[in-house]
Amino acid sequence: MKTKLLAFLALAVLCSAYAQGTLQFTAHLTSAETDGTGNGQFTLTGNDFTYDVRAPYTWNQGIIQAGPDLIAPIIFSLHLRQCGAPEPYPGTNRGGCFFTGNLTLSEGQISDLVDGQWYVRAFREGPGINGQITLVPEPSWSQLLGLALGVILLYCGKGILNVGRGRRGEGRLHFNLHQQLDPSIMQCMMKTKLLSFIAIVVTNAACGQGTLQFTAHLTSIDTDYTGNGLFTLTANNFTYDLSVPYGFDQGTIRRGSDLTAPLILDLHLRYCLAPEPYPGTNRGGCFFNGSLTLTDGQISDLEDNQWYVTATAFSTLRGQIVPIPEPSTVAFFGLALGLSLMLWRWRVHCERA
């Protein structure tokens, strides 16, 4: 009874890990009638849905619809944060209109979103551009499958080889069991270690192909201004997206919290927008984004929380770059514990039979 209870609790931990996790979605907005394109990033944590959409400059209307058609039902309108004009040549800032916001979804809306029934559209006049909001694949399912396969094979192999060992008076049971083994089971015993090794390789490969996310909250004791950064690491490719108050147009990443710490990267300033006069709600800001190929040593320092991002104007805002917790570790623990307990019970039952 205790084994069943512990196995149930382990599986409950697994389910809870996924229920509390964050789902990520993406969209690429295009149209056959224009060369303009856009991109959107979306997250769903519980019932909280957030969006960050970029569309070409002057395309200042944004909506999410329940289908790809122009007349599909509108679920909600996107909040326009700001529009910035492109820089004159040879400037590289293409400008754009940027939509951000969040809302609470119902269970039915979450179901439609996960099923790929939502589309995002940006326009000025006419149909504009649109794209399907699709779930970003996560490697965790591959990891779980690899881990499950490895645990099952390791335990099954150990259970078959050790049945009847270690207790007095069971030598005959051990001998008879081997005499009665089906040839297919004998083959399974021979292949167990090889398959377990393959399962571990599959698991490691799935982990290696995943994307790690990091975040930073920039503050200073000298001012009430704050900033935020989102960072991703896919293999050796590191990307950053930093938003800080207007005027903080110098950004760096350093290995350490001191201003004199070794410089890793000068951040690329995409643009700065001045705040709107009162009673306008657009607070403006300076926005950095870009990418960098990291060495193995830099990846190690990043994962060890040794990197800090700074933005400087009359004062310096600083924040530590830290990983965003993922539920996969808890899920692994829950799955491994549940499988271990159930297989251990099966093995004990066989030994007592």
Nearest to 213 by CA among 141, 302, 289: 302
Which segment of 78-92, 96-110, 227-241 scores lowest on mean pLDDT?
Answer: 78-92
C-alpha separations of 7 from 2, 10, 36 in Å: 8, 5, 53
Architecture per CATH, 24-135: Sandwich (2.60)
The pLDDT of residue 191 is above 60: no
Task: Give the pLDDT band (50/70/90) at residue 161.
Answer: very low
pLDDT digits (tens, 9 = 90+) for 272-298: 888 878 777 777 889 998 888 999 999
CATH number for the domain running over 211-323: 2.60.40.200
Quick check: pTM over 0.75? no
Q: Is 334 left (phi over 0), alpha (psi -120 to 50) or beta?
A: alpha
Average pLDDT value for residue range 155-178: 46
Distance CA 330, CA 14 (A): 7
Average pLDDT value for residue range 77-82: 91
What's phi and psi for 283, nearest 5 deg? -85, -5
Task: Please classify residue 238 by burial: count the beta carbons closer than 10 Å to its beta carbon, then call 0-12 exposed, 13-18 middle and 19+ buried.
Answer: buried
Task: Give the pLDDT band (50/70/90) at residue 127.
Answer: confident
| Cross-strand pairs, 265 | 253
The pLDDT of residue 27 is above 60: yes
The mean predicted confidence, pLDDT, of the chain is 77
Nearest to 7 by CA among 347, 334, 338: 338
The pLDDT of residue 202 is above 70: no
The pLDDT of residue 207 is above 70: no
Domain boundaries, the chain: 24-135, 140-209+329-352, 211-323
pLDDT of residue 193: 47
Pair of tokens at residue 189: 């015993």
Which run of H or E residues covers position 214?
A: strand 211-220
Higher local confidence (pLDDT), 83 or 21: 83
* Token pair 């089906």 in the structure block, residue: 182
Is 96 strand, coil or helix?
strand
Task: Give the pLDDT band (50/70/90) at residue 70.
Answer: confident
Task: Give the pLDDT band (50/70/90) at residue 18.
Answer: very low
The pLDDT of residue 98 is above 80: yes
pLDDT of residue 283: 77
CATH topology match: 24-135 vs 211-323: yes
